[in-house]
Structure 1
Amino acid sequence: IPNDTRISSECRDLLEGLLQRDPHKRISFKDFFRHPFIFIDLSSQISRADEFLHKSIHYEQSGNFKKALDYRVRALDEYVAIIKVDEDDNRRHQLRSKVKQGLVAAEALKRRMRETHSNSASIVPTTTTTTTVSPPENFNLNHNKELSDAYQHCLNGNQLVNTNTFFCK
């Protein structure tokens, strides 16, 4: 690495670890992702997901089920994204639990929305379409059926929100 190159000390340390000729001295695959230059701090993403969850609860309590469902789905999307990249087994387990609870709450919100709309407007369908949508190609759920199902529920929640937006205009 040229001395006149302006890079941080953390970046320099990582590059030197990667460029070792001797494979035994080279940084390992696992250590690469734990290196301070690469490591992803998930705390801000978790805080954002928690904020979405709190907004969902607030809107549900105020009777705005559409916004509550929207924020619930956004929180679930964030939690699933975190689970994919988090290496902390305990935190992943806790987040999976939040996703399961969130799915139950989202289903309850969808039922309440259907009941509310079927009582107030006859043009709103009383059932939702639950088509199976595959995750995008670059969205790997690590062959975890539970997370895949959670993602599918999130998508169905978004479909319901979009359907209600269309019919309620």
Structure 2
Amino acid sequence: MPVPRRPRSPPRALLAAYDFVARDVGVTDVLPTPCPACGSRLGVRYPSGWLCAVCEWKLGDAPDGELTAPRVDVVYYVRSANTIKIGTSANPRGRLAQLHFDELLAFERGDRLLERRRHKQFASHRIAGSEWFTANEALEQHVSALRAGVDDPWGLYHRWVSEAIALRY
């Protein structure tokens, strides 16, 4: 029976090259804590510390006193079984934590006015007295259009928050 070989360590030259590149380019990883500016968990680690990959806030820097999270209203689409809820919130993380649903489908930037328009657009499939709609082809196509090119709706939301912060200055 052959004796298993111990994996070889990378040559020192490769480790030195990796360290050299990481010093300039950084290493993308999950932030140890959410970004205080935009809430993202994606970061870039440098020898000097972490930067948020979304808004480039340096982790550890305290936000300015006047820097509060900007208001970014969104219309959200969530699925529960064969129904889809169309709602709106300026605090989607808090709002969605209150709901029971199977899947976050998409975000659309907009406020109550846009939400009302969407409710009218899909009114023929609305479950009476609620913001829930039976899944249907038109609504599924709308959600698919919103999701086009978006891997994670939260990533899109974090970008909108980051843009709103940047527009303040």
TM-score range for the pair, normalised by the shorter chain length: under 0.3
Structure holding more helix per residue? 1
Q: TM-score, normalised by structure 2?
A: 0.22
Structure holding more strand per residue? 2
Q: TM-score, normalised by structure 1?
A: 0.22
